[in-house]
Chains A and B, each alone.
Chain A
Amino acid sequence: MTKFSASINLLENKNKTLDLIVSWTLTIGRVLVIIVELVALIAFIYRFSLDNQLQTLQTKIKQEQAIVAYQKDSESKYRNLQDRLALISSVSKATVANLKIFNDIIALTPNGLTLNNFTLSEGKIQLQGNTSSVFTLSNFIDQLKAYPPIEGVSLDKIQNDTTNSTITVGITATLKGQGGTNALSN
């Protein structure tokens, strides 16, 4: 049975490496304590500086909030005016654009075509008219198709009255961007 030694010998005499580590740790340990204390002290002082900054900022914010609150009525007045101006601008643009389309379509109508009904509403144009020539009608439809604000043209009705030698037509043209600037309804 091996004899048990009661003494604690953590550092073996022959272990130089362990001696070096202990020596190094002792030096670094002291420095570590000093650094930790320094960091704690600096952090403590820095905290006061931050507190001061925050206090200054909050005072400034309160002052500015008071200025903004004082101008609240003026702000409402400006916003109201801006809303009115925006409304005026959008409605005016849409109305002018639609009247231009109205006038342009009338101008596109050839001499041989008589329009009995012209309706411009909800982003579409409905036309009803009479013509004596198919070529006139065809030419008019081609011109409508070529007109940039128009997206599509459909021939709803075509009726040939042989007794009067007239062709009665119903045409619907869809405007681009229905509900947008080209649409009549705002």
Chain B
Amino acid sequence: MRFQIKGIKKEQYEKYLELIPDLKREKAQRYITIVLTLTTAIILGLFAINPTLSTIANLQKQINDSNFVEQKLQQKINNLAVLQQSYSNLQPDLSVVNDAVPTTTQIPLFLADIQSIAKDASLTLSGLQTSTVNLSGPVVGDPASFDFTLTATGTYQSMIDFLSRIINFQRIIALKSVAISTNNGILQLGIKGTVFFKQ
């Protein structure tokens, strides 16, 4: 059977065959080994080491993040334990704190207390009024507050006494303005303040 490839003569075919490296030759073998070695290294690097290393990097990042979260949680638990201890120690004084900033407005009690303080300081109250407080709706502000105005007459000493008592009053009052004036020889005290409560 005659050997023939379409369009190629036997002489040309033999010529092409000579171009193929002779694998029996040592140098050709060495070159092939090099090429295979490099190819293997590249394939292993790309398909074995690279994904594994990126997975390791990802896992390491997750571990670092988890460590951070774990440390913060541990710190929070420790802080809560300390707070629990402090809260237990403060238990006897909690009523004082709750009186200073009660959970509700307690307006009637506040007005009664102010009247009582004025009476103790020998001051005559001529006016005591609170601002509008929405008792049924949701509480606005944190801490919530309401304003009050007070006018009174008396001696200068009784006014100073009243102011001192107001400062030491069990309920916390922020004074917005304090005015002492004389009107026809009568000394008048005017106070505007804010009273707080917190749910």
Q: A residues touching B (Cβ–Cβ < 8 Å)? A: 6-8, 10-11, 22-23, 25-26, 29-30, 32-33, 36-37, 39-40, 43-44, 46-47, 50-51, 53-54, 57-58, 60-61, 64-65, 67-68, 71, 74-75, 77-78, 80-81, 83-85, 87-88, 91-92, 94-96, 98-99, 102-103, 115-122, 184-186
Contacts and interface: CB of A to CB of B under 8 A. Distances in A.
B33 A47 contact: no
Contacts of A120: 177-179
A25 B52 contact: no
Nearest to B21: A8
Interface in B35-76: 37-38, 40-41, 44-45, 48-49, 52-53, 55-56, 59-60, 62-63, 66-67, 69-70, 73-74, 76
B83 interface: yes
Interface string B5-27: 00000000001111111100001
Contact of B44 (A40, A68, A99): A40
The 8 closest A-B pairs by CB, nearest first: A121-B177, A6-B18, A29-B37, A186-B174, A64-B73, A11-B27, A119-B179, A43-B52
A32 B163 CA distance: 89
B178 A102 contact: yes
Contact of B56 (A11, A43, A57, A71): A43
Contacts of A46: 56
B90 to A, nearest CB: 7
Interface residues of chain B: helix, strand, loop or mixed (majority): helix
A117 B180 contact: yes
A57 B66 contact: yes
Contacts, number: 188
Nearest to B33: A26
A80 B90 CA distance: 14
Contact of B173 (A8, A61, A95): A95
B179 A118 contact: yes
A186 B34 CA distance: 83
B166 to A, nearest CB: 8
Given A91-B173, A119-B179, A185-B176, A68 B53 contact: no
Contacts of A87: 101, 143, 172, 196, 198
Contacts of A33: 37, 40-41, 44
B76 A121 contact: no
A184 B194 CA distance: 10
B110 interface: no
